[in-house]
Amino acid sequence: DTAVSQTPKYLVTQMGNDKSIKCEQNLGHDTMYWYKQDSKKFLKIMFSYNNKELIINETVPNRFSPKSPDKAHLNLHINSLELGDSAVYFCASSLRPEGRQETQYFGPGTRLLVL
């Protein structure tokens, strides 16, 4: 009964490849997020979707493309992977999009290593 799940947990791939990370939440939330955490633990938001619509799109290379087939799922596709994409990617969800008060629930993370 995991609240926010991500697959895969680990991803090791070569530079130039294309890969996808999947996220699912069973909390009935309307809003989902992708974050990137670098090797120094710094956490930066990448995207947010509310009810399948993109509402936050930070300064992220257009090699990164999120897709939300329904409000319980938010996937992240990365084209032409680069060494600098190596990081831990976290999916999160919240009941509503307002960051002011909403608690976000995080998945366990996907550890991406680009060789």
Q: Which residues bind another protein (CB under 8 A)?
A: 4, 33, 40-45, 48, 55-56, 90, 92, 97-109
Q: Collapsing DSSP states into helix, strand and coil, what is residue 23?
A: strand
Nearer Cβ to another protein (18/53): 53
As to burial, measured by CB atoms within 10 angstroms (0-12 exposed, 13-18 middle, 19+ buried), residue 34 is buried
- Choose between 72 and 109: whose C-beta lies nearer to another protein: 109
Short-list 56, 37, 2, 53, CA closest to 109? 37
Least distance from another protein to the Cβ atom of residue 29, Å: 14
Nearest-approach distance from CB 99 to another protein, in angstroms: 4
